[in-house]
Amino acid sequence: MAFHKGKGKRRRKREKPEFDQQIVDLARVTRVTKGGKQLSFRACVVIGDHKGRVGYGVDKGKDVQIAVEKAVNKAKKNMIRVPIVNDSIPHRVDGKYSAAKVMLKPAPRGSGVIAGSSVRVVLELAGVPNASAKILGKTNNKINNIKATFVCLESFLPKAKETITKNKVKKQKKNQTEKKIKKDEKKEKQEKK
């Protein structure tokens, strides 16, 4: 706990949140009912830890702050892990959601994230150091572009999981053979005695 000098007041240092968040889209929306128009706010929030985890959420609320909090809670439930290979994404991939089309491809070290608007936000919060992206669709809908980007990023996951499981199987086989060799050596020593 950090203490502040002077007049005996105590101040606690604020803990850094687990995820950084960025509001990508904030819109005022109305619903027409029998009683008249009901006004609410729609927030689209992207969260990430800059270490490979990223998520997005879209939700509505009567107040901007309520909408953002609800969207952050949804984003925490929709988290995915982005595999980073050689300081970039594993390979080129295209994704489509509704009218939005996005292309992601790896970039050499030192080039940074070359992308526009909402795709850049997703890649930066995911912690991808170098990547190139292009929005190929004719839509400027930020939410659909984010969803198309997530389609791209999710396409890496099965391959990444396969390699992880293959590595685990290799390690298990290696450990089993090492244990077997140790058992055989113990048997030989006991037989010699």
Specify the pLDDT at position 75: 92
- In one-letter notation, the amino acid at residue 114 is I
Q: What is the pLDDT of residue 179?
A: 77
In a domain, 101, yes or no: yes
Asked whether the beta carbons of 5 and 30 are under 8 A apart, the reply is no
User: Is 131 among the domain residues?
Assistant: yes
Looking at residue 178, what is its pLDDT?
Answer: 77
Q: What is the dihedral of CA 40, 41, 42, 46, to 10 degrees?
A: -150
Question: What averages of pLDDT result for each successive group of 10 residues across the chain (193 residues)?
Answer: 56 72 93 92 94 93 94 91 88 91 92 91 92 92 93 77 58 75 80 72
Residue 181 located in a structural domain: no
The answer as to whether 117 is a domain residue is yes
Q: Does residue 177 belong to any structural domain of this protein? A: no
CATH code for the domain of 131: 3.30.160.20
Task: Residue 41: give the domain boundaries.
Answer: 20-166
Q: Domain total for the chain?
A: 1
Would you state the pLDDT for residue 191?
Answer: 78
Residue 102, in any domain of the structure: yes
Domain membership flag for residue 13: no
Q: How far, in Å, are 116, 158, 166, 167 from residue 163 at the CA level?
A: 31, 9, 5, 6
Does residue 182 lie within any of the structural domains? Answer: no
